[in-house]
Amino acid sequence: MKKYVTWSLIILSIVFSFFLHLLALMNIVPLIISSPILFLSLLVCLAFLNNHRRFKGF
């Protein structure tokens, strides 16, 4: 159950930041604010994917 909540929050943050970035491309929201948010949400997703099945030792 915890895994599904984490993935849903990650996907929700990516969708929100992508929508915010689209608004920034239409000059409604500043681009300097939306770009780091999109970058951080994608970075968190990739870091979670990379660390998900790591061998942690014996």
Inside any domain, residue 24: yes
In whole angstroms, give the CA distance from residue 17 to residue 6: 17
Residue 6 CA neighbour count, 13 Å, CB half: 9
Inside any domain, residue 8: no
Mean pLDDT by 10 residues, the chain (58 residues): 86 96 96 95 91 74
Q: Is 55 left (phi over 0), alpha (psi -120 to 50) or beta?
A: beta
Helix 2-25, helix 31-51: angle, nearest 10? 150
The pLDDT of residue 33:
94
Domain that holds residue 38: 17-51
The pLDDT of residue 54:
73
What is the count of structural domains for the chain?
Answer: 1
Single-letter code of the amino acid located at 28: I
Inside any domain, residue 36: yes
Inside any domain, residue 43: yes
Inside any domain, residue 33: yes
